[in-house]
Amino acid sequence: METRILLVDRDKMFVKGLKYSLEQEGFIVDTLFDDKEIIERVSKNKYNLILLGIELPNSDGFNICKSIRDISIVPIVVMMEKEEDIDKILALEQGADDYVIKPFNILVFKSKIKAILRRENYKTVDTNSQIIKISDFTINTVGRKVTIKDKNVNLTGKEFDLFYVLISNPGKVFRREELLELVWGYAYYGDLRTVDVHIRRIREKIEKDSSDHKYIMTKWGVGYYFNNTNL
């Protein structure tokens, strides 16, 4: 099965070199140098991954990331030129699954991409999907879809993985380090705030009042757990 990647960055030499390197791995790589066609491309094509440069000529890459996330759950890796904590947090809050700082080690970068794609490869839709009902949730573990009280919950790939780890172990408190290892894997080189941002996004999607948590709870100083008193 072919793997198609959309690579967007203003630096044409950088794009040319990265495209060549990724194509050596067998990936099909489409390229753009600005934001003008991104949403149209994502709407019309089946991409397995988007590599998005934040510094674009005509727009704020963070807003583009959010616009992509509004229409698709395709994994997004944001590429930044400055290592600013606020930019990392903003990228994750706007829907990115991961980020890298340029210039980066191409071998590490390709390992990161392959790890993300491995996790996405089992999103195959199957009419005989295994259905699990837990609390107010119905989970399709093959199609990787979640509903709450028969209402669809639009989770990204990483959000689904994180939510599934918690809900399938009700009452068990996971440290953020454990969740990083379980969900992002050995190839992830980030920080613990990544978990916090994804938990906040999940809460916004599943909680009636995201400030009054019913499902995903915080064990202060330890980590997160799914509230089994609702089961």
- Kindly list the domain boundaries of the chain, sorted by start residue: 4-120, 131-230
* Beta carbons within 8 Å of 30's beta carbon, 6+ residues apart: 4, 5, 6, 7, 41, 45, 47
Summarize pLDDT for 200-213 with one digit per residue, the tens: 999 999 988 767 88
Quote the pLDDT of residue 132.
Answer: 80
pLDDT of 79 strictly over 60: yes
Separation CA 213–CA 206 (nearest Å): 10
* pLDDT-above-70 percentage for the chain: 90
Quote the pLDDT of residue 81.
Answer: 87
Taking each helix axis from N to C end, the angle separating 193-206 and 85-93, rounded to the nearest 10 degrees, works out to 30
Select 131-230's CATH number: 3.30.457.10, 1.10.10.10, 1.10.357.10, 3.90.79.10.
1.10.10.10
Q: Kindly report the CA angle at 3 between 125 and 193, in degrees rounded to 5?
A: 80
Q: For domain 4-120, give the fold.
A: Rossmann fold (3.40.50)
Q: What is the mean pLDDT of residues 127-132?
A: 60
CA dihedral 219, 221, 222, 223 (to 10 degrees): 60
pTM for the whole structure: 0.64
Looking up tokens 């190839």 gives 187
Quote the pLDDT of residue 230.
Answer: 54
| Residue pair 183/158 in contact by the 8 Å Cβ criterion | yes
